Amino acid sequence: MNETLKTLLEHKTIRNYKSDPIEEDILNKILEAGFRASTTGNMQVYSVIVTRDEEKRKELCKLHFGQKMVEQAPVLLTFCADFNRFNKWCRQREAAPGYDNFLSFFTAAIDALLVAQNACVAAESFGLGICYLGTTTYQADKLIDFFNLPEGVVPITTVVVGYPNENPEQADRLPAEGVVHYEKYRDFSEEDIDRIYQEKENLPQTAQLIKENELDNLAQIFAYKRYTKKDNLHFSKVFLDALTNQGFMNNEG
């Protein structure tokens, strides 16, 4: 197996970090690897905000729902969909930009996420650990204020980076038949679903979770505790409002 494949296959999410800083040249290589990711039309319609300042990490920790690793790890990378720089360039060159719509937002979000994943792989190649924060979209409005993001810029995801202070088990994954389709989408029968989820449902930690949550099964923990309809509706509104406020929802011309 080649080393790159090994890096990818051995990924573990790290939630407990040493306070050791990341060497400047390593951080720069991580970012450089990020910027080598594919980008629509080579427009590079993304940006990354590096947070190292301790006070700022504490404030961001609060914004990211108090997840301890956010202030513990030495570096936070916030990846943004960013048409601001591109729009400014266009206007300065007498080219009227038409990038204030949902398609442009989504194009920029794709760009940002490919950069983020490249940066994560690069970080892990240096023995660093990473963790993605889903709270970035939930708190888009507050992060826009915090970083003072101008029109055309929306935070998409945040990655915590630092030297691991734990060595957890690798997370389980569904069998490939749950996520790969050949030629056509093959929809799932009840039997398929039972088989695909069997291993996950039989993990010892699943039994523990069901007991702690006083629910019947793992699916109910997701639907009623972790990712509830009420929260999803609330955060849908927050995020769509952020798109509107940042100038990405002028879809009628």
Per CB under 8 A, 131 contacts its own copies: yes
Q: Which of 144, 134, 137, 150 is nearest to 100 (CA)?
A: 150
Q: Which stretch binds its own copies (CB under 8 A): 16-24, 46-54, 61-69, 161-169?
A: 46-54
Among 24, 25, 167, 185, binds its own copies (CB under 8 A): 185
Query: Tokens standing for 166?
Result: 């734990």
Stretch touching its own copies by CB under 8 A, among 15-23, 63-71, 161-169, 227-235: 227-235
Instruction: Candidates 196, 206, 209, 213: give the one binding its own copies (CB under 8 A).
Output: 196
Within 72-111, which residues bind its own copies (CB under 8 A)?
82, 84-86, 88-90, 92-99, 101-104, 106-107, 109-110
Distances (CA, A) of 225 to 41, 144, 153, 216, 218: 41, 27, 31, 12, 10
Residue 154 β-bridge partners: 81
Of 20 and 188, nearer to its own copies (C-beta) is 188
Q: Closer to its own copies by CB, 6 or 68: give it.
A: 6
Q: Which is nearer to its own copies, 61 or 109 (CB)?
A: 109
Report, in Å, the least distance between residue 62 CB and its own copies.
16
Q: How far is CA 124 from CA 64, 74, 80, in A?
A: 23, 15, 21
CA 71 to chain centre: 17
Minimum distance of its own copies from residue 40's CB (angstroms): 5
Binding string to its own copies for residues 142 to 181, with x set by CB under 8 A, is what? Answer: -----xxxx--x--xx-------------xxxx-x-xxxx
Q: Given the rule CB under 8 A, which of 15-23, 24-32, 62-70, 206-214 is the region that contacts its own copies?
A: 24-32
Could you tell me how many residues of this chain bind its own copies (CB under 8 A)? 124
Residue closer to its own copies, measured from CB, 20 or 194: 194
Nearest CA to 34 among 144, 164, 159, 150?
Answer: 159
Beta-carbon contacts of 101 under 8 Å, excluding residues fewer than 6 positions away, are 248, 249, 250, 251
Residues 104 and 116: beta-carbon distance below 8 Å:
no
Cβ proximity to its own copies: between 36 and 68 the closer is 36
Query: CA angle, 60 as apex, 130 and 46 as ends, to 5°?
Result: 65
Tell me the two tokens of residue 91: 């206007």
**Nearest distance, CB of residue 19 and its own copies, angstroms:** 18
Answer yes or no whether residue 224 interacts with its own copies by CB under 8 A: yes
Closest by Cα among 54, 46, 131, 118 to 80:
46
Q: Tokens for 12, please give them.
A: 């573990």
